[in-house]
Structure 1
Amino acid sequence: MNGKFFKNIEVATALGLKEEVLYVEKQVVSKTLTQTNNVSITLFAFDKGEEISTHSAPGDALVYVTEGEVTITIGDNDPVIVKEGEIILMPANIPHGLEANERFKMMLVIVKG
């Protein structure tokens, strides 16, 4: 049985987000759970020191850190350290970037209107 909008995830099974994506040395690993015109949900695992350079997205982006710690910079704001169990919102069309202070995992949800 498959979900209508989700992929790469088992149906009717309790899963831990941390275990759904694994670390790889000196890499960023991603696993897309859903991607539609209006919503995307992706899991990421970053090795320490890996980063995503400054960019912007056409929708609001919500980061939920499931393990570890990351520094995120949004627009002209001071960098914010986001730790396991915390979320941060990155507004649409505002430049943002991130750097892994240590190995960390996150779920990224992007919503477009």
Structure 2
Amino acid sequence: MNGKFFKNIEFAKALALKEDVKYAQGQVVSKTLVQTENVNITLFSFDKGEEISSHSAPGDALVYVSEGEVIITIGDNSPVIVTEGNFIVMPANIPHALEAKDKFKMMLIVVKG
């Protein structure tokens, strides 16, 4: 069974989100599930100490933490710790950064208008 928008994932099967991307020592690993003009969905795993420095995205970005926890800084706000099972939304065109104090996994959904 093939879908129109999702890739790199099995269809019509219950899947464990946090099992679908593996950790790699000293690396950030990503797996793209959807990439269209208006929507991107990507799974990530971060090894302890890895980070993504301050940058911005052209759409609103939702980070759902499926395992562990991450420190996220958005604009001039104080850093927020987002823990397993929780999510945070980062507004379009506002700089943000992510830091892994320990290993963690997340799903990133970016929606552009």
Q: Shorter-chain TM-score: what band?
A: over 0.9
Q: 2:37 — aligned with what? A: 37
Deviation (angstroms), 1:19? 0.6
| Letter of the 2:27 counterpart | Q
Q: Give % identity.
A: 77
Instruction: Tell me the distance in 1 between the aligned counterparts of 2:48 and 2:2.
Output: 34
Residues 72-113 of structure 1 show CA distances to partners (whole Å, capped at 9, x for unaligned) of: 000000000000001000000000001001100000000000
* Pairing of 1:4-15 with structure 2 (within 5 A): 4-15=4-15
Partner SS for 1:18: helix
Instruction: Tell me the distance in 1 between the aligned counterparts of 2:5 and 2:85.
Output: 26
Instruction: Tell me the distance in 2 between the aligned counterparts of 1:59 and 1:101.
Output: 26
| Letter of the 2:107 counterpart | M
* Pairing of 1:1-113 with structure 2 (within 5 A): 1-113=1-113
Instruction: Tell me the distance in 2 between the aligned counterparts of 1:40 and 1:13.
Output: 21
5+ residue gaps, structure 1: none
| Letter of the 1:28 counterpart | V
| Letter of the 2:56 counterpart | S
Residues 61-80 of structure 1 show CA distances to partners (whole Å, capped at 9, x for unaligned) of: 00000000110000000000
| Letter of the 1:71 counterpart | I
In angstroms, what is the RMSD of aligned CA positions?
A: 0.4
Instruction: Tell me the distance in 2 between the aligned counterparts of 1:6 and 1:84.
Output: 24
Deviation (angstroms), 1:2? 1.2
5+ residue gaps, structure 2: none
TM-score normalised by L of structure 1: 0.99
Partner SS for 1:94: coil
Q: Aligned pairs, how many?
A: 113
